[in-house]
A and B are shown apart, each in its own frame.
Chain A
Amino acid sequence: DTGVSQDPRHKITKRGQNVTFRCDPISEHNRLYWYRQTLGQGPEFLTYFQNEAQLEKSRLLSDRFSAERPKGSFSTLEIQRTEQGDSAMYLCASSSTTLPRQGLAQVQELFFGEGSRLTVL
């Protein structure tokens, strides 16, 4: 148990339905990531938050996808009007990150949840 929990672990839905996934990160971690992973592939970056601010979104994240981290704690990832191509494992990870005045953020070890597996029929 890494301390990051995701819910639900499995979701089966019909095409066109909306689904929402929740991630509870490690409480003292300021950064939270969402990734999507399909069979045999590496995690594809979707978006990340620094506290409550969403700092980057992948071009993969169409307008059907939205993520929030309202109080800088838990996060939700919603997919509207699901399509069969959305079937994948959705992974959440959290980390502590230091932001220097200049230069790149120093991201420490990511702690991953067990993922939420979505099947769209």
Chain B
Amino acid sequence: SQQGEEDPQALSIQEGENATMNCSYKTSINNLQWYRQNSGRGLVHLILIRSNEREKHSGRLRVTLDTSKKSSSLLITASRAADTASYFCAYNNNDMRFGAGTRLTVKP
């Protein structure tokens, strides 16, 4: 079973809007990673944030990490229809555990 929780479970927005997804976890971590999955495909790594980092950017992606609250957020700015996918956080505590994911739909 997953040990992380994503919020919301599903998100539907218009193209051009920003999408924010949240992730909570329960253990101490070395790093937290975000992945994307298109329907029926394998997962693709998006970004990794270490436990001593608070914020990280990669293109239109912005990730924050609050280890005191055991939570992270992923912000996708200026969304595109091609961003439609499921997004998962995964946290590193010796192994790698995934949350249940947020299903993002970006309407053109």
Binding partners A and B: yes
Chain A interface (Cβ < 8 Å from any Cβ of B) = 2, 4, 33, 35, 40-45, 48, 55-56, 60, 91, 93, 95, 103-115
Is B78 among interface residues, defined by CB-CB distance under 8 A?
no
A110 touches B100 (CB 8 A): no
Other contacts beyond A110-B35, A110-B45, A110-B96: 5, CB < 8 A = A45-B95, A55-B94, A60-B1, A107-B94, A114-B41
Q: Residues of B contacting A56 with CB < 8 Å? A: 94-95
Q: Residues of A contacting B29 with CB < 8 Å? A: 104
Q: How far is the CA of A26 from the CA of B96 in the complex (A)?
A: 17
Residue of B nearest to A108 (CB): B48
A105 touches B101 (CB 8 A): no
B92 touches A111 (CB 8 A): no
A110 touches B33 (CB 8 A): yes
Query: Which of B6, B43, B95, B101 is in CB contact (< 8 Å) with A91?
Result: B43
A109 touches B92 (CB 8 A): no
Q: Residues of A contacting B98 with CB < 8 Å? A: 35, 42-45
B45 touches A115 (CB 8 A): no
Task: Scan B71-108; emit 1 where CB is below 8 A from any A CB, else 0.
Answer: 00000000000000000101011111111110100000
B1 touches A44 (CB 8 A): yes
Q: Residues of B contacting A108 with CB < 8 Å? A: 48
Is B2 among interface residues, defined by CB-CB distance under 8 A?
yes
Assuming the A-B contacts A41-B101, A42-B101, A44-B1, are A107 and B45 also in contact, with contact meaning beta carbons closer than 8 angstroms in the complex? no
A41 touches B31 (CB 8 A): no
Q: Residues of B contacting A109 with CB < 8 Å? A: 33, 45, 48
Query: Which of B88, B94, B103 is in CB contact (< 8 Å) with A43?
Result: B88
Assuming the A-B contacts A41-B101, A106-B30, A107-B30, are A33 and B2 also in contact, with contact meaning beta carbons closer than 8 angstroms in the complex? no
Q: Residues of A contacting B94 with CB < 8 Å? A: 55-56, 104-105, 107
Q: Residues of B contacting A113 with CB < 8 Å? A: 42
